């Protein structure tokens, strides 16, 4: 097989959330080129059926493969829940999801063995987080809560609005009663709500953001395969969306901390 170490890393998500993963990849692997695809025409995925999520995931992976990516990062918890094993079997490049890394971090972090998971309805229904956590430690108590309003609030840019805190308090009430000490942000949009979630839960609760852990996993896998880009030049990041490029550009700055320049709208999928 040809050495494709100079090829880009592909990342996809239903919308903007996966940019939290991109930010970490840029920080930890500054020489790597990255192609990011946000399926903004069909966001959110977390309220869709399992069949739709699998179909969307395969379509998204195929879009990235057109750019000769050397690896695909599924930066979407709903897709990681339902489609990861299908993508891993169906594609010749390594495919990495976000759930395993977050679950491991939570197991390492909790002191009182009470972990909360917040995610989209699809991710919660898949029960992938409790299963993965119990694979590492059967003694942990895992509580789960679907938070369908969080993704649209983030996509709207309403990270600091009172309504967002009120929604968080409503969703997280049971977790506070159950005295969890670790909260997994089971959707890549949720790190943008860290301030609100900390305010709602209190500073004593650790928030697990899997983006950092996923970037470490990408680094480990590329190293093991001898596919780290040894080029000393700073990597470039190209962004693809299926809809609303201007809106994406505006909110992306809040995720990444810089203005994105290379942004392309791809042809919408045949529905």
CATH topology for 9-97+212-265 is: Rossmann fold (3.40.50)
pLDDT tens, position by position, 131-189: 999 999 999 999 999 999 998 998 888 998 999 999 999 999 999 999 999 999 999 88
In DSSP notation, 171-233 reads: HHHHHHHTT-SEEEEESTTGGGGHHHHHHHH-TTSEEE-HHHHHHHHHHHHHHHHT------S
End-to-end CA distance of the chain: 35
Q: How confident is the model at residue 1, as a pLDDT?
A: 44
Give the torsion sign (CA, 260, 265, 269, 271).
Answer: positive
Residue 38 pLDDT greater than 90, yes or no: yes
Residue 268 pLDDT greater than 70, yes or no: no
- Within a 10 A sphere around the Cβ of 84, how many other Cβ atoms? 21
Domains 9-97+212-265 and 99-210 share a fold: yes
User: What band does 36 get if pLDDT is binned at 50, 70 and 90?
Assistant: very high
| CATH level 2 (architecture), domain 99-210 | 3-Layer(aba) Sandwich (3.40)
pLDDT tens, position by position, 223-249: 999 999 988 789 999 999 999 999 999
Least confident range from 6-10, 112-116, 265-269: namely 265-269
Q: How far apart are CA 164 and CA 160, in angstroms?
A: 7
Helix, coil or strand: residue 72: strand
Helix, coil or strand: residue 79: helix
Q: How many residues does the chain have?
A: 271
Q: How far apart are CA 168 and CA 153, in angstroms?
A: 11
Q: How confident is the model at residue 155, as a pLDDT?
A: 82
Residue 20 pLDDT greater than 60, yes or no: yes
Nearest one of 120, 57, 122, 111 to 86, comparing CA atoms: 57
Task: Give me the active site residues, please.
Answer: 76, 187
- Within a 10 A sphere around the Cβ of 4, how many other Cβ atoms? 15
| Boundaries of every domain in the chain | 9-97+212-265, 99-210
């Amino acid at each position: 097989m040809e050495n494709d170490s100079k090829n880009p890393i592909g990342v996809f998500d239903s919308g903007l959330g996966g940019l939290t993963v991109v930010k970490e990849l840029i920080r930890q692997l500054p020489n790597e080129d990255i192609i990011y695809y946000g399926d903004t025409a069909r966001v959110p995925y977390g309220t869709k059926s399992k069949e739709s999520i699998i179909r969307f995931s395969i379509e998204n992976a195929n879009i990235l493969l057109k750019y000769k990516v050397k690896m695909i990062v599924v930066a979407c918890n709903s897709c990681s829940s339902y489609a990861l094993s299908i993508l891993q079997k169906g594609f010749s490049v390594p495919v990495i999801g976000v759930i395993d890394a977050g679950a491991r971090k939570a197991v390492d972090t909790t002191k009182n063995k009470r972990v909360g998971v917040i995610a989209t309805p699809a991710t919660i229904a898949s029960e992938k987080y409790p299963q993965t956590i119990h694979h590492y430690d059967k003694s942990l108590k895992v509580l789960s809560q679907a938070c369908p309003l969080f993704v649209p609030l983030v996509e709207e840019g309403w990270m600091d609005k009172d309504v967002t805190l009120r929604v968080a308090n409503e969703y997280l009430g049971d977790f506070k009663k159950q005295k969890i000490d670790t909260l997994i942000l089971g959707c890549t949009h949720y790190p943008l709500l860290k301030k609100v979630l900390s305010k709602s839960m209190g500073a004593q609760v650790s928030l697990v953001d899997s983006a950092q852990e996923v970037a470490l996993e990408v680094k480990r896998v590329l190293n093991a395969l001898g596919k780290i880009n040894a080029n000393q030049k700073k990597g470039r990041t190209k962004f693809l969306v299926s809809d609303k490029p201007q809106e994406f550009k505006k909110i992306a700055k809040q995720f990444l901390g810089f203005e994105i320049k290379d942004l392309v709208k791809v042809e919408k999928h045949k529905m």
